Structure 1
Amino acid sequence: MAGIVLLLLVALATASQLLDPWLRRTLEKQVAQKSQGRYQLRIGRLHTSLGSGTITLGDVRLRPAKAAALWQATPLPRLLADVQQIRIAGVGLWALLRGAEVPVGSVVVSGGRVRVLHWPRPRPDARPLHEQLPRRINGLRIGYVALQGVQLAYGALARPTASVRQVNFTAQDILLSRAGAADTQRLAYTAAFGGRVAGVIGTVAQHRFRIGNAQFSSQSQRLTLDSVRIRSLLGVQERGKTIRVEMLLPRLRLTGISSAELRRRQLRLDSVVLRRPWVAAALPTQPPPPIHEALAPYVPYLALAHVAVSGGTLHLTGIPPRPRIQDIHLRADNVLLTAAGARAPARIWYARAWALRTGRIQNNVSAPVYWLGIRSTELLTRTGLIRANDITLRPTMTPAALARLKGHQTPHITVRAPRVQVAGFDFAAFSQHNALLANSLELSGLRVLIAGDGRFPLNPNPSLVTQESLAKLPVRLNVRRVTLTKGYVATSYVGPKTGKSGNITFNRLRVSLRNVTNDPRLMTAATPLVAQASGWMQNSWYAQASFRIPLLDPRGSHSGQGSFGRGSITLLNSVTEPSRLVRFESGNVERATVQFRGNRQQISGTMRAEYSDLKMTLLSQQGGPDQKTLFTKLGSKLLNGVVIRDDNPRGLGGNKLKTGSMQSRRDLRVSVFSLWRQGLVSGLLNSIGAPKKVAQRISEAP
C-alpha cells in the first residue's frame, strides 16, 4: 500500500514538473494564435499548484508586433506590458472540466508597467465580453481582483498622452456571464470596486492636467481628487474658439456615485465639494453651448443634491477688464443639468437655490477709464438678496486726460459706497428673461465726486443720463423703491474761458425713487416715476425737491418742484468765481420755490425767491489780487445800480414779490440734470433783474 501511495506522489510530482512548462508554452502560443500574430507573450516563471488551484506567473512580458499592417481594422488595443507577478488562486478545476460556471478565488497583479500605444474605437457590432469566453465555459465568477503598484501610460513612447505613476485597484464579486451582464446593480460585471491612483498626468483638448492622488470606492460611493492642476497649452492671455483654463484645485470630492446609475449614465450625486480652487480662464470668442448640451453625449442625466465651493478665486483673462474675484464661497441646492432643468420656471441656472459670498472683486469698467473694487458681496436666491460692501469706482486718469481720450467733455466720476443692498430680486426672471425685477434698492453713505472740463467740446452724441435712456433699456426693469440716505455729492467744473475749477457740494442727501420701471403696464402718465430728494448745499443751505417723470413719454415730458430754505447766496461763489468770474458780495435768501416742466425741447417754469441785500461783482482774470479791473469795476456798479434787484420784494408796504421766469432750451447732448440746472440759472437770473432773453442765453452757455 505504501508503495502505491509513493508511486502516486512521484506521478503527481512528475506531472507537475511537466505541466508548468507545457502550460507556459501553451499560453504563449495561444496569445500569438488568438491575436493572429499581433502579440508576443513571454512568461519568465510559471508555477501551478493543483491541490489549491493556484497559478503564479512571474516576469511576464507582452509585446506587440511591429508590422503596421497587422493593426489595421482590429478591435484589439495595441499595448506592451511588463508585469512582475500574476497570481490566480482558487480556480474551480472541476467546474472547468464540466464546462460550468468557473469560480476563481482571486486574481492579483503585482508590480509592472503597461503602455497602451493605441486604443481602437469600440465597434458597434462587438460582442459582449462574456460571449467571448471559450464555449466550454459557462461563465467566470471571480471573488477578488487587484492591481498593486502598477504603472500605466497611454500614447506614443516619446511623451505619453496620459500616465499614472501608481495604480492600486480592487474589485469584488465579478460575474462574467449573461446573468452578470443583465444585473442592473453591477457595473462592467462587478458588484463592488475601488482604488487609488497617484501621479496622474495627461493631455486633453489642448490642456495638460496633473492629479496628485485620486481615490474611489463604489461601496462608499465617493470619489476624491487631491492636488489637481490644469494648464492650457495655448495660454490664457488670449481668447480662442474654445475655453482656455489654468486651475489649481487642492481637493475635489464627489459623493453618492451609484454603480447602477453609472451603468445607465444617469447620475444623481449627493454632493460635489471643491476646496480652495484657483481658476484663470480665457472665455471663448464664440458663446459655448449650454452646460447640459455639452454633457449630454457623456451623461444625459446629471442631478446634484448639493454643490459647494469654499475659498475659491476666479480670474477672467483674455478680455480687457480681466476681472478677479477672491474668496468665493458658493452653494447650490438641487441642481439638474438637463434640458428640463434649464427650462424649469422654478430653477435658477439649473438649481433650486444658490448662495454666494465673495471677498474682493476687482475689475476695469469701460477699460481703461475706470477701476472697480468691491470688498465683499453676498447673493441669496431664496430671499432675493444682493448685497455689496465697500464699493469703489475710481478713474484711472485725470479729468483732462479722460476728456482728451474721448475727444469731448466726459464726466469724471468717483464713487464710494459702504453698502448697496437689493431686496426681493427676482433671480428666476433675470436668469430666464434677463429682466431686472426687485422690491427695493438701498444705499447709505454714498459719496460721489463728479468733475468736468469745459475746455473741451461737448459730446456729439445724445447723453445717456436721461429718463429716455431708462425707457430704452433692452431689458425689462421694475424696481419698486430706491432709497439713498446720508449721501454726499461734490461737483467741480473747469470754466471754458478761465481754465479754473469751480466746485459745489451737496451733503446729507436723502433720495427716494418709486416705480422705477419701463413696463408699460406700470409706467403711465397717471403712475409715473416719483422722486423726492432733500439735502444741504455746501452743508449750509437746505433744499428739497420732488419730480414726476413718466419714463415712456415719447416727448420726454416731466415736471418738478422744489424749495430752498434760509441761506446766504454767497455760498455759490465757490463755483461762480473760478468758472464764471462772478462773485456774490452779499445776499441773504429767506425762501425760494421753483416749479417747472421739461421735455426734449426745453424747460420752463417759475422761481419765487425772497432775498435781501444782493450785491454782485464782475471779476477778471487780468485783474490784480482782487481780480478787478477798471472795466469790471464800472460793470459791477452798472450791474448793481441798474440791473440787479437787491431786494425781493422791494421796500415796504405792498411791493409784490418779483417772480422769475425759468426758460432754457434743451441740448440733448447734456444730461437731464444739466437741463434742471439751466432752469434754475435762468429763473434765478430773471428773478434778480436780468431780462428773460439774457437769463436764457446765460443759462444755455456751456
Structure 2
Amino acid sequence: MSASSAPVVTPPASPTRRWWHWVMLGLVALSGVMLLALLALDPWLRQYLEKQVAESSHGRYQLHVGQLQTSLWHQSVHVRGVRLRTVGPATDTAALPPVQLELGHARLTGVGLWQLVQRGPVPIDSLVLDSLHIRLLGKLPTAKQPQPLYQRLPLHLQGIRLKYLALRHVQAAYQPAPQARVAWKQASFSAQDILLSAAGAADSQRIGYAAAMTAQIQHVAAAAAQHRLALRSVRFVSRPGTLVVDSVAVRPQQPLSEVRSRNARISLHLPRLLLTGLRTAALARHQFWADTLLVLACDLDMTAPRVPPPPIHRLLAPWLSRVQLEHLLLANASARIRGLEQQPRSQRIAVQGSQLRIDSVGAQDQRRVLYAQQWDVRTGVVMARLDPPFYQLACQSAHLATRGGLLEINNIRLRPLVSVAELSRRKHHQAPHVTLLIRQLRATAIQYAALVHQHRLAMQTLALRQPRLQTRSDGRFALNPEYSVATPEALRHLGFILDVRRISVQNGTLYTIYRAPQNPKPGELTINRVSGTIENFSNDPHQMSAAHPAVVHATAWLQNRCRLQATLRANLLDPQGRHTIAGTFSEGQLSMLNPMTVPTKQLLFRSGLVHHIRFRMQANRQRVTGPMWASYSALKLTLLSQKGGADHKTLGSRLKTTLVNGLFLRDDNPRKGKLQVGRMTSARDLRVSVFTLWRQGIVSGMLNSAGVPAPLSKKLSEQQDKPVFK
C-alpha cells in the first residue's frame, strides 16, 4: 500500500479545548438568561410593587405604576405615571384613611447593587420625585409601639445613605376631621446626606436623619379649632437654621364677640415672621433653640376665653419640653382683646425680649420676668376701661424696661363715659366723677421679678408731672354705704405688698365741682401749683412703723391766690388710721372761697383778709382734733337763701346775717392784741374720704377761731347736705 492511500486519522480534542467550549456555551446561555431576566425585570418589579401595596394595606389601597425602567448599568430606576387610590373598605386591621396620590415621575440613581445584594448599608446618589399630588381624607393611624424608620427598611437592610433627596411641585390636602384640614398649592423639599441607620438616628447634628434640608411651601390654607388660616409662603433652610413666613392671616369661623366665648377667637394678620439661628438638631429631642425671632406688623384682635389658658410652657409641653430663644423682637404691632370688661387695646407695640427660657424652670426662675431675663416694651396709644363701663383710661405712649426697672407713661387720660348724675344713679349713691390728666408718669428701680413671682410692687421713685385732677359730685344722691378706701389705713388691706421709696408731684392742679341738693348751680374750688413728695409710701412691715412713718410734704395755692403748705406723717399699718398734719395758709382774701360756699352753703364772705393761719391736726378713724392759729381782719359774712330774689336775700336771711356778724363772729383776730386759738373738732364719717375729714377739721377750726362756739363749729363742720335721691 502506498503512502498516499493510507487513511487519515483525526487526533482527539484536548481536555482544555473541550472545557473552553463548555464555558463559552455557558456564557451564552447565561447571557440569554440574563437578557431574558432584564427584559422581565421591569414588569416583575412593577407587579411586585403593586402587589406589595395591596397586601400590606389588606386591599385598602391600589397602586398603579404606568412605566418603570431600570438600568443596572447606570444603577438607576425611572418611574412614571404612579397612581395610588383607595378601593377597599376600612377594617379594624387596616384603619387607613382614603388616599388619592399621583406622581408624575421619579428617578432613583446611583444605587449600590452589591451592598443591596448583601443587605448592608446601601448607598444611593439621588432620589427625585416630581409633580406629586396627595389628597388624604381621615386621620392617620398611630402605631402603639412605633419603630424608628431605619428599623422598617425593606429587605431588612442595615441602612440607606442617600446623598440627595428632592420633592418638586408638591400639592397636598389633608383632612383628618370634618372641621380640620390643611392644603397647599405648591411646595418643594430637598435634603442632603440622609443616613437611615442607627448611627444616623443617634447623630445629634442631624435633623430627620439628614445633614441639611430646605423646604418651601406656598399658598397654604388650613382650618382647625374653629379658625381658618391662610399663608402665602414658608421657607425653611436648616443651614444656617432660618425660617421665613410671609403673609399669615387667621380668621375665626364665628364672628368676634364682645363677651367671652368658650374658646378663644382670634383674628390675626402677620405680614412677616423671621426666625434665625435655629438649632434643628434640638427638634429631635423635642426642644426648640434659636437665636432671634422677628415678628413684623402683627395685628391681633381676639375674644378672650371664659377660662384663662394655662401658662405657655404647659401649652407647649405636648410638643416641646423646652424653648430657648436668645432674642424676641416684635415691631409695629397692634392688639385688642375683647370679652374682658377692661377691653384693652394698643397700637405701635414694639417688644424686645432677651434670653427667653420657656419651660417650668424658666417660669419659676426668680430672676426672670415672664420667662425672659430682660424685656423692653414700647407702645403707642393704649386704651382700656377702668371701673367698666364708667371710665376710659388711655395714654399716648408707654415704655417699660425690666433692666433698670423703668416705667414711663406719657399723657395719661382718665375720662368718664357717663354724666355725673348718671354715674351716681347707676351706682345708687354719690360717686366721684373723675377726669384725670397726667403729662408724664415715670417710675424707676421697679422690681419686676418680685412683682411677677412674689406679688410685690416695689420701686425707688414715682414721679407725676403736671397732673390735672377734676372731681364732680352730685349731692342729690345718698352717700355710699360702704366704707371709703381713700384713707391711710386702707393700704393695709391691699392684696399685695406696695413699697415706693419716694413719690413726687410737680405742678399739679385739683379742680373740685360739687352740686348741692337744692341748687342747680355747682360750687367750684381749685387748688393750683401742687407740688410735693411722699417718702416711705409702703405697707411692708419691714419698712413701715410708727418710728418710720410715711411723710408727705406738699405746697399748693388755693384758688391760685393763697399759698398753703402742709406736712403729714402716718403709720400706714396703724389699724386706727392715726396721722398728723401740720400746715400753714398765707395771706389771702376770704372772698376767694365764695365760688364754692355760695352755691353749696349759701354763705357769702362779704369781706375778710387772712394774714396767716397755722394748724396742727391729729386724726384717726373716730375724729379730728387740734389747735389752729388764725390771724385775719375785717371778717363779714352774709347768709343767703334759696328762696330769695336775685341777691338770694330774705328777711330771715338778713336777720341771721345780722345776728351772726354781731353776736358770734369776731371781726379781727388777734383782738386787743390777743390771738384767739381755735380748736379743730369734728367727728369722722367712714363713708367719706380722709380728704373730707381734713376739710371738716379746717372748717371747725376756722369757725371756732372766728368766735363760733366749739360745739356749734363741730356740728356745722360735720353737717352733710341732705340728699334728694335716696
TM-score bucket (shorter structure): over 0.9
1:217 to 237, 240, 260: 237
- Residue 68 of structure 1 corresponds to 90
CA distance in 2, matches of 1:539, 1:466: 26
TM-superposed CA distance for 1:232, in Å, is: 2.9
Is 1:613 matched with 2:631?
no
Match of 2:52 in 1: 30
The answer to whether the 8 Å contact 2:58/2:94 transfers is no
Q: Which residue of 2 aligns with 1:321?
A: 342
Q: 1:84 aligned to 82, 104, 115, which one?
A: 104
Work out whether 1:46 is the aligned partner of 2:68. Answer: yes
- Note the C-alpha offset of 1:195: 0.6
State the Cα distance separating 1:614 from its structure 2 match. Answer: 0.8
Q: Does 1:173 align with 2:159?
A: no
2:114 is paired with a residue of what secondary structure?
Answer: helix
1:546 aligns to what SS in structure 2?
A: strand
Instruction: Summarize the alignment of residues 277-292 of structure 1 with structure 2, pairs less than 5 Å apart.
Output: 277-292=298-313
Q: Does 1:559 align with 2:594?
A: no
Alpha-carbon offset, residue 387 of structure 1: 0.5
> In 1, are the aligned partners of 2:483 and 2:688 still within 8 Å (CA)?
yes
TM-score, length-normalised on structure 1? 0.95
Counterpart CA distance in 1 for 2:387 and 2:628 is: 40
Which portions of structure 1, spanning 4 or more consecutive aligned residues, are displaced by more than 6 angstroms?
4-15, 156-160
Q: Supply the AA of the counterpart residue of 2:519.
A: T
Partner of 2:3: none
Q: What corresponds to 1:137 in structure 2?
A: 157
Query: CA offsets, 1:304-356, max 9 Å, x none?
Result: 11111101111111122211011110011111111111111211111111100
Q: In structure 2, what residue type is equivalent to 1:620?
A: S
Match of 2:689 in 1: 671
Alignment of 1:47-446 (within 5 A): 47-69=69-91, 72-74=92-94, 78-135=98-155, 137-155=157-175, 161-237=181-257, 238-446=259-467
Residue equivalent to 1:662: 680
Distance 2:355 2:664 in 1: 75
- Does the Cα contact within 8 Å between 2:544 and 2:572 map onto a contact in 1? yes
| Residue 14 (structure 2) aligns with | none
How has the CA–CA distance of structure 1 residues 18 and 135 changed in structure 2, closer, same or farther, with 3 Å as cutoff? closer
Q: CA deviation at 1:266?
A: 2.2
Query: Aligned-pair distance for 1:230?
Result: 1.7
In structure 1, which of residues 454, 466, 479 is the aligned counterpart of residue 475 of structure 2? 454
What's the TM-score once normalised by structure 2's chain length?
0.92
Asked if structure 1 preserves the Cα contact closer than 8 Å seen for 2:436 and 2:470, the reply is: yes
1:127–1:524 CA distance, 2 compared to 1 (3 A): closer
1:53–1:90: 8 Å Cα contact kept in structure 2? yes
Contact 2:405 2:448 in 1 (8 A): yes
CA contact (8 A) 1:499 1:579 kept: no
Q: Give the Å deviation of 1:11.
A: 9.4
Pair 1:500 & 2:524 matched: no
The offset of 1:561, in angstroms, is: 1.1
Give the structure with higher Rg (CA).
Answer: 2
Q: Which amino acid aligns with 2:664?
A: V
Deviation at 1:639, TM superposition (A): 1.8
User: Aligned-pair distance for 1:659?
Assistant: 1.2
In the superposition, relative to structure 1, how do residues 175 and 680 fare at CA in structure 2: closer, same or farther (>3 Å)? same
Native 8 Å contact 2:179 2:224 kept in 1? no
Match in the other structure for 2:559: 538
Unaligned runs of 5+ residues in structure 1 are: none
Q: Which of 667, 680, 699 is the aligned partner of 2:698?
A: 680
Contact 2:549-2:572 at 8 Å conserved across structures: yes
Give the Cα separation in 1 of the matches to 2:319 and 2:211: 22
**Deviation at 1:31?**
1.9
Cα shift readout 1:663-693 (whole Å, capped 9, x = no counterpart): 1110000000000000111111111121212
- Partner of 2:261, secondary structure, is coil
The two structures, once aligned, show a CA RMSD in angstroms of: 2.3
Q: CA deviation at 1:13?
A: 8.1
SS, match of residue 551 in structure 2: strand
CA distance change for structure 1 residues 498 and 264 in 2, over 3 Å: closer, same or farther? same
- Counterpart residue type for residue 257 of structure 1: L
In structure 2, distance between residues paired with 1:156 and 1:66 = 19
Q: Distance in 2 between matches of 1:250 and 1:283?
A: 23
* AA of the residue aligned to 2:60: R
- After superposition, the Cα gap between the structure-2 partners of 1:636 and 1:534, relative to the gap in structure 1 and judged at 3 Å, is same
Following TM superposition, by how much is the alpha carbon of 1:108 offset from its aligned partner in structure 2, in angstroms? 1.1
The answer as to whether partners of 1:75 and 1:122 remain within 8 angstroms in 2 is: no
Using the TM superposition, name which of 46-55 and 429-438 deviates more: 46-55
Deviations 1:106-151 (A, max 9, x none): 1111113101223434324233222222346332221111111111
Deviates further, 437-446 or 44-53:
44-53
Structure 1 position 158, deviation (Å): 7.9
The equivalent residue for 2:547 is: 526
Residue type at the aligned position of 1:439 = Q
Whole-angstrom distance in 2 between the partners of 1:493 and 1:550: 31
Contact 1:453–1:494, Cα closer than 8 Å, also in 2: yes
Deviation of 1:162 after TM superposition, in Å, equals 1.0
Residue 286 (structure 1) shift: 2.3
Q: Distance in 2 between matches of 1:234 and 1:700?
A: 58
SS in 2 for 1:264: coil
Does the Cα contact within 8 Å between 1:236 and 1:318 map onto a contact in 2? no
Name the amino acid aligned to 2:388. A
- SS, match of residue 462 in structure 1: coil
Which of 497, 500, 504 matches 1:479?
A: 500
2:76 maps to a residue whose letter is T
2:137 aligned counterpart, secondary structure? strand
Distance 2:210 2:99 in 1: 24
Letter in 2 for 1:96: L
Q: Comparing 106-115 with 18-27, which one deviates more in the overlay?
A: 18-27
Give 2:715's aligned amino acid: R
For structure 2, list consecutive stretches of 5 or more residues without a partner in the other structure: 1-24, 721-726
Range with greater deviation from structure 2 (39-48 or 574-583)? 39-48
Q: Does 1:510 pair with 2:531?
A: yes
Q: Paired residue for 2:621, among 582, 589, 600?
A: 600
Measured after TM superposition, the shift of residue 563 of structure 1 is 0.6
Alpha-carbon distance between aligned partners in 2 of 1:679 and 1:407, rounded to the nearest angstrom:
28
The one-letter amino acid paired with 2:68 is: L
CA contact (8 A) 1:78 1:119 kept: no
CA contact (8 A) 2:433 2:473 kept: yes
> How many Å separate the matches in 1 of 2:475 and 2:378?
43
How far is the alpha carbon of 1:73 from its aligned partner?
Answer: 4.0
Judge conservation of contact 2:60–2:94 (CA < 8 Å) in 1. no
Closer, same or farther in 2 for the Cα pair 1:686/1:242, shift >3 Å?
A: same
Q: Determine what percentage of the aligned residue pairs are the same residue.
A: 40
| Paired residues of 1:566 and 1:589 also in contact (CA < 8 A) | yes
In structure 2, C-alpha distance between the alignment counterparts of 1:282 and 1:664, rounded to whole Å: 52
Shift in Å at residue 220 of structure 1? 1.5
Match of 2:260, SS state, is coil
Separation of aligned partners in 2, 1:638 and 1:76 = 104
- Cα 1:335/1:157, change in 2 over 3 Å: closer
2:396 counterpart SS class = strand
Task: Output the CA distance in 2 between the equivalents of 1:246 and 1:581.
Answer: 59
Please give the secondary structure, in 2, of the residue aligned with 1:122: coil
> SS at 1:695's partner residue?
helix
Task: Please name the residue that 1:695 is paired with.
Answer: 713
Q: Which amino acid aligns with 1:172?
A: Q
Secondary structure of the equivalent of 1:485?
Answer: strand
